[in-house]
Amino acid sequence: MQIAVIGAGAAGLVVGRRLVEDMPGADFTIFERTDSVGGTWVYTEEQFKDKYGLPIHSSMYKSLRTNLPKETMEYFGFPYDKTHEGISYLNAADIVRYLEQFAKHFELIEKIKFNHHVTSVMPLPNNRWRITVTDLPKDSEKQCEFDAIFVCNGHLHCPNHIKIEGQDVFSGFQLHSHHYRKPEPYTDKNVLVIGSGPSGTDLSVELSTVAQNVYLSHHDPTMDQIVFPEKVTKKPDVLRLNNDSVDFVDGSTSDIDAILYCTGYKMNMPFLTPECGLEITDHSVSPLFFHMVNINIPTMFFIGLVNKSFLFPLFEMQAEFCTKTLNGYISLPPKEDMLKWWQAENSQVQLRQKKPHYIGNAIKEYHDFIHKFANTNIYDPVVFKIYKDSSSRKKSHFLNYRSDVYTVIDAENFRRINLDGIE
Ligand code: FAD
């Protein structure tokens, strides 16, 4: 069986591991657009286009530290090396090193075709897939056939731009967080940050170290709990932009010099042809069984579409589930049953105005389902407990939670200390 994996980020690499372990001898190739493993974790000073004219993939900024402890960002049986003892929240370079070590350990490097950009994926009448790929340095295109496809191209690289009245008249600097690298360009400026997700909150704090004022515009009621540095003022939604100021919906106005849009990302899979039988919107791919399997052609898998969770372990569970459908260890339900699951999930999305592919508090159920269905490995309860604890510490101690250090005591228990002495 010949298998293609698109992307050598955290998701594509763990698919490689599962293929090595669950399908020994499988003939697989990982196509990677850039010249390294690690995907979005690979920091670059470039902001917009790479040397081949393609949009920069990485959304990392220079100072980024993870918003989850490393204890929740580990693959099965592959801990972070000893250099990270005594610290839980790592920087992007540490994560890249971990992923490089992982790729070397499972002998994946030789399976990766670097600088190979997949431009088209098309199902064939003989139940195979045709991939068109550009060898970027040679500027040459070729086509290859495979029996199964893993789509692991990430979904946090295509900025979700929003429209606001007055964007065309505002005379200052406007940027999406995808392109943000360092705070220096904002020195002494009055900055408007729009959006209070992980980037919006972290970058508001970072900008407050150089800017004159930071206005964080959001509509998230849970932000009330978060204590920011003095220079950060929480504001409601923006009503309109003027030449050098912003009007908010509560009637207040602030002078601003620059805007940073932390408004999230859109799905971007331009290589999937209509024949793949999927509908791709800004935030969803459908119909998928359990956010992974293309119900119309179940030899196509998506790893990592799920939101709001600890992701590396989830990627590994998903990857194992999918490889076990390929090696015949499990059979997928009949198409009608998979469609029923998807319809039920879809109606929940509509009814509760839930985000598509959002797992949130149902993370344990999701892991349990995969484990029961495919007899996969399963993470110890302590990992879920650390995830829960770190999420709550992030809210209660936003400015200090990254000084927490977790120690796993056993499968159920952990210990936490805070290097700043915060209880
Ligand atoms: P990516 O890392 O995006 O990798 C996708 C790979 O596919 C890339 O290498 C890309 O070059 C390649 N590719 C794309 N298109 C093609 C193509 N057409 N042909 C060939 N190759 C292609 N997660 C956490 O667990 N903890 C955190 O603290 C955390 N912080 C984050 C902070 C930021 C700013 C961002 C953006 C994300 C963060 N995440 C965090 C989420 C992070 O995205 C995931 O943890 C994970 O790294 C995603 O891995 P991936 O392999 O799905 O995607």
Q: Under a CB-based contact definition with an 8 Å cutoff, are residues 160 and 199 in contact?
A: no
Provide the token pair at 108.
């994946």
Q: Which helix (H) or strand (E) holds 385?
A: helix 381-396
Q: Under a CB-based contact definition with an 8 Å cutoff, are residues 218 and 240 in contact?
A: no
- Residue 53 CB: number of other CB atoms within 10 A? 7
Residue nearest to atom 12 of ligand 1 (CA): 7
- Residue 165 CB: number of other CB atoms within 10 A? 12
Select from 71, 153, 363 the residue to mutate for testing ligand 1; criterion: most ligand atoms less than 8 Å from CB.
153
Q: Under a CB-based contact definition with an 8 Å cutoff, are residues 315 and 303 in contact?
A: yes
Each residue's pLDDT tens digit in the chain (423 positions)?
999 999 999 999 999 999 999 999 899 999 999 999 999 999 999 999 999 999 999 999 999 999 999 999 999 999 999 999 899 999 999 999 999 999 999 999 999 999 999 999 999 999 999 999 999 999 999 999 999 999 999 999 999 999 999 999 999 999 999 999 999 999 999 999 999 999 999 999 999 999 999 999 999 998 988 999 999 999 999 999 999 999 999 999 999 999 999 999 999 999 999 999 999 999 999 999 999 999 999 999 999 999 888 999 999 999 999 999 999 999 999 999 999 999 998 888 877 777 899 888 889 999 999 999 999 999 999 999 999 999 999 999 999 999 999 999 999 999 999 999 988
How many whole angstroms separate alpha carbon 343 and alpha carbon 18? 29
ipTM for the predicted complex comes to 0.99
Task: Please state whether 84 falls in left (phi above 0), alpha (psi between -120 and 50) or beta.
Answer: alpha
134 beta partners: 117, 141
Q: Give the largest Cα separation in the chain, rounded.
A: 65
Enumerate residues lining ligand 1, CB below 6 A.
6-12, 31-34, 39-41, 57, 59-60, 64, 66-68, 73, 117-118, 152-154, 156-157, 199, 271, 304, 310-312
| DSSP per-residue string spanning 162-220 | ---TTTTT--SEEEEGGG---SGGGTT-EEEEE--SHHHHHHHHHHTTTSSEEEEE---
